[in-house]
Amino acid sequence: MRRDGVMSSAIQSLVLAAAGNGGPTNPNSRYYGAVVESLVLPNGTMVQYLQRRIIPSASIYKSLQNYTVADGDRIDNLAAKYLGDPTLYWLICDSNTSMDPDALVSQPGSTIQIPLGSGIPAGARNG
């Protein structure tokens, strides 16, 4: 970002494209459509950030199935297998009221909910 708070077109393009990850411009992102806020620091630097996301109640998700965690499972791989997209791992986290994706698969033998991936429920993205 330039000193006057304006992004260069190259940097702006990178931010808007979210560098190809599950960033806020990806319709599958939990931050898709989130409000962008601005804060001017005492030294005049403008910082832009996404408004805080409140994790919704797990009850908004319809369960596809229970899944028994196996040794070596990764939440992104489970999202790819059951939801068709590894960046939807956050749906599994939310439906299990977990803020830590790794914790969900850290105990082989534990059971987690796999939600339906079709149609992200209202309120899932931005509380």
Question: Where exactly are the structural domains of the chain?
Answer: 9-50, 58-115
The enclosing H or E element of 65 equals: strand 63-68
pLDDT of residue 15: 52
- The CATH number of the structural domain formed by 58-115 is 3.10.350.10
- Following CA atoms 12, 18, 19, 23 in sequence, which dihedral angle do they give, to the nearest 10 degrees? 170
Going by pLDDT thresholds of 50, 70 and 90, the confidence category of residue 25 is low
Q: Which residue has the tokens 């931010």?
A: 15
Q: What is the pLDDT of residue 49?
A: 79
> Which phi and psi (to 5°) does residue 55 adopt?
-70, 125
Tell me the whole-structure pTM to 2 decimals.
Answer: 0.66
Q: What is the mean pLDDT of residues 35-40?
A: 83
pLDDT digits over 108-117, tens only? 999 999 998 7
With beta carbons less than 8 A apart as the criterion, state whether 17 and 56 touch: no
Q: Measure the CA dihedral 23/29/126/74, to 10°.
A: -110
Tens digits of per-residue pLDDT, 65-124? 999 999 999 999 999 999 888 888 989 998 998 989 999 999 999 999 999 876 666 666
